[in-house]
Structure 1
């Protein structure tokens, strides 16, 4: 085990080592230095010698202070604060408050007990219950943050607590398994349906704009379902094998849950209010686009109603350390990831890739592009940012290097990877910080599991590529 001093020193040493290397041709010195800081931040997040939010804040502060993103002090300030105005960040913050509302009202406990009563004989059964809940909602909710973090998290997080599994007490008993199944399942469902992830819709429009290729809902599902349905059905079982819960069987749990429900008595007024507000949020998230209400605005509005109806108090909001910690952490990472695009690093990397791929067979080009597009997500804290920064570039490379009839398949593979890549890191997609912030899985363990499941998901994409190209 590394000492804390070593954990503190390693990110700095890695950043310095990269910074003193010669600046690659075509890249500015500031872009090179910013990339060094970015990698230092990533190493820091893996080792976590200090809280993750502080690591991100140090990276942003250092880069802005030394003008690595812009020579202008005002532009540097605007960049440093850009993550705090990101809609997904506020949606994540609101999701934490929803979870608190479910807990304080008692509704989360009641729903968790009902799930345990019906499916609680085995931990695997509970894993499938969480996964299927996401699967049912996914075609109708284009925000996986609203779906997984705002709707499923507040309920699912109550289940391990029923078995006395908390972040501080026996997290591996059940809580860690439930958390991992939830994030792993939502990553698959986000790729299974065009309408299960907001960046999917953006990606389809960019493909049409850059390659004149139209991808319909039916084309998306019929092509990607070949891999996504088997992956989705395997997720709870794979997690059970790779990251097993310590408590596997609990034949007495359903009877115990039934007894606890009796003790709770009839549903209370606060529970009914919480249920109504939960349904309101769900309706606004599903139909928000049609009625002109943004998902983040909907979440903040419902948060206000939670306070006004006294389901939670304002004191609860401003003293929720986990929510504030994740808010700062994710906001700084969004800014850092956006900085890579701003300094020109991503454009330079894409140009370099295009040069390397010239002369290879079209099938190999497709496979390499899919793998690189997936792995590049390690550099992003937002799927939307990934789409905007890289999808047009990768589609452009494909148009230049492969036959026209293969570009459609390449486009489907690239856009179909957007949900799956969310499994890679604790900041890779909107719900990730919520499930990580629950505290059941350490950052180091998350990176390890992310690499394992990322490899499985990527293998599925490669198999699909071999089938359709």
Structure 2
């Protein structure tokens, strides 16, 4: 076929330049404005700093009805976090760290100008500073650390690209078939790798294909399929995306354990249905039936001793995560096993530790600490009592919180949205009759991952947009349809199904 018939041939994909040496490809997602080191503050960031400061100060000078002083101080911190995370007035990680130190200084046991002074009940309820600092080493952080170690090793030893090359071979020919293959592979990788790294890896594989496709709509469809699949696929496991870890950690802090396999059983079928439905929608909107893409991809496996040790360790870790009910080892503990093995056997080293996405871990920690403070200071009860949530019932509360999460996640970081909403959702659920806490927390976390209608919504979208292969309009149309319909299914259909299956 001629180029006008949308025939594209990619160059062979290489997982490593040589079979004996590990290859390192540093994959970086685009930086948000607040991550930039130069260029000054944008108007929205300046507004955020001013508004955040004002809202932070107000509860110190005005008495809040039905809220004790520790709760008022926590409200100050909560309002500051909302404004800073929404506007990115300072880097997202900086806000997370600020939350922790402000809790230690203002609401912890022995805080500055102790808010509980003279009140025995408040003094007894105050948590020590160590409880807030403990968020930085919460067991779910260790779980995520293991996930990062596996993802980093997959990149270092070319495992990610080789898997993509092998799995894409059967999907050569029809463009629609190729897009299905891309989405399935991305959806399989993203539960165990960061969505950003997965998207960057897949684009490295398909850029030669994209540039050879002459049909603009088909090219757009292929480009949009990858971030969509990465966002949806990340829903499937606790380590797939930070909102999942935030929910697991917050539930654990409230005495509710959700194992790795429990999360997978609840989330994977939903993610699979959304993934296939999204592929159908992509084909209808962008991929002509006649379009064809021919693939010529060759896997080049790294066969060094270190690579083989990594392959075995990654397989063992994933197997242990998925069989937690059989052996009883917590998924958090399992997450630290690959860290110990890979470092001790020198498969990974100090440079790999430095290259991990530490800001994400600190951001998750900030969300855990925020939830701890909301519960310890009585702010949760005040938030519940301020709105007539009980009139909505369990379904209504879940629907409203999921829609809020979807809305927030479209215009701000998914992790920041989950940090704000998951603690509130758990507090609401625990205070209302007939509302399952685990269901609400998990649903809200997943809803935050479905906000993907803009380039700023999530790094995978930004990566796709930066290729120049898709417009904001096309991304918004696809994201709004998939996000809205998926959230409706999530909030209305999944909780009864989870209950019927006895998962919660």
TM-score, normalised with respect to structure 2: 0.61
Q: Which residue of 2 aligns with 1:48?
A: 88
Q: Which residue of 2 aligns with 1:8?
A: 45
Conserved? CA contact 1:424–1:451, under 8 Å: no
How far did 1:309 drift? 2.9
Task: Quickly say closer, same or farther: Cα 1:40–1:276, change in 2 above 3 A.
Answer: same
Give the helix-richer structure, 1 or 2: 1
How far did 1:280 drift? 0.6
Conserved? CA contact 1:53–1:328, under 8 Å: yes
Q: Within 2, Cα distance between the matches of 1:328 and 1:85?
A: 9
Task: Quickly say closer, same or farther: Cα 1:57–1:163, change in 2 above 3 A.
Answer: same
Select 1:181's aligned residue among 202, 216, 229: 229
Range moving further from structure 2, 330-339 or 36-45: 36-45
Task: Quickly say closer, same or farther: Cα 1:157–1:301, change in 2 above 3 A.
Answer: farther
Counterpart secondary structure, 2:339:
helix
Task: Quickly say closer, same or farther: Cα 1:456–1:31, change in 2 above 3 A.
Answer: farther
Cα deviation code 1:306-331 (max 9, x no counterpart):
123332223321x21x5222222221
Q: Which residue of 1 aligns with 2:122?
A: none
Task: Quickly say closer, same or farther: Cα 1:4–1:383, change in 2 above 3 A.
Answer: closer
Task: Quickly say closer, same or farther: Cα 1:37–1:350, change in 2 above 3 A.
Answer: same
Cα deviation code 1:27-60 (max 9, x no counterpart):
2244234333323323323333443212221233
Select 1:422's aligned residue among 445, 470, 486: 445
Conserved? CA contact 1:91–1:300, under 8 Å: yes
Q: Which residue of 1 aligns with 2:399?
A: 371
Counterpart secondary structure, 1:42:
helix
Q: Which residue of 2 aligns with 1:82?
A: 134
Q: Which residue of 1 aligns with 2:331?
A: 295
Whether 2:66 is the aligned partner of 1:26: answer yes
Task: Quickly say closer, same or farther: Cα 1:68–1:51, change in 2 above 3 A.
Answer: same
Task: Quickly say closer, same or farther: Cα 1:71–1:37, change in 2 above 3 A.
Answer: same
Task: Quickly say closer, same or farther: Cα 1:62–1:112, change in 2 above 3 A.
Answer: same
Q: Within 2, Cα distance between the matches of 1:341 and 1:374?
A: 21
Select 1:460's aligned residue among 489, 497, 502: 489
Conserved? CA contact 2:78–2:370, under 8 Å: yes
Work out the number of aligned pairs and report it.
Answer: 389
How far did 1:276 drift? 0.9
Cα deviation code 1:381-419 (max 9, x no counterpart):
39985675343323x2x4xxxxxxxxxxx65xx754544
Counterparts of 1:241-320 in structure 2 under 5 Å? 251-252=293-294, 254-255=295-296, 257-258=297-298, 261=299, 264=300, 267-317=303-353, 319-320=354-355
Task: Quickly say closer, same or farther: Cα 1:160–1:29, change in 2 above 3 A.
Answer: same
Conserved? CA contact 1:30–1:343, under 8 Å: yes
Q: Within 2, Cα distance between the matches of 1:448 and 1:56?
A: 32
Cα deviation code 1:233-282 (max 9, x no counterpart):
3245568899x99xxx8824x21x13xx2xx3674433322221111101
Q: Which residue of 1 aligns with 2:206?
A: 163
Q: Which residue of 2 aligns with 1:140?
A: none
Counterpart secondary structure, 1:163:
helix
Cα deviation code 1:5-32 (max 9, x no counterpart):
5343323333344342754421224423
Q: Within 2, Cα distance between the matches of 1:80 and 1:450?
A: 36
Q: Which residue of 1 aligns with 2:376?
A: 342
Task: Quickly say closer, same or farther: Cα 1:388–1:465, change in 2 above 3 A.
Answer: closer
Counterparts of 1:67-106 in structure 2 under 5 Å? 67-72=106-111, 75=127, 77-106=129-158
Conserved? CA contact 2:418–2:445, under 8 Å: no
Q: Which residue of 1 aligns with 2:192?
A: 149
Cα deviation code 1:110-156 (max 9, x no counterpart):
1121123333653443113333x38xxxxxxxxxxxx8135998767
Task: Quickly say closer, same or farther: Cα 1:421–1:180, change in 2 above 3 A.
Answer: farther
Cα deviation code 1:35-87 (max 9, x no counterpart):
3332332332333344321222123323433x145544794632431211211
Conserved? CA contact 1:31–1:343, under 8 Å: yes
Conserved? CA contact 1:421–1:454, under 8 Å: no
Task: Quickly say closer, same or farther: Cα 1:40–1:388, change in 2 above 3 A.
Answer: closer
Task: Quickly say closer, same or farther: Cα 1:467–1:84, change in 2 above 3 A.
Answer: closer
How far did 1:339 drift? 1.5
Conserved? CA contact 1:112–1:156, under 8 Å: no
Task: Quickly say closer, same or farther: Cα 1:32–1:232, change in 2 above 3 A.
Answer: farther
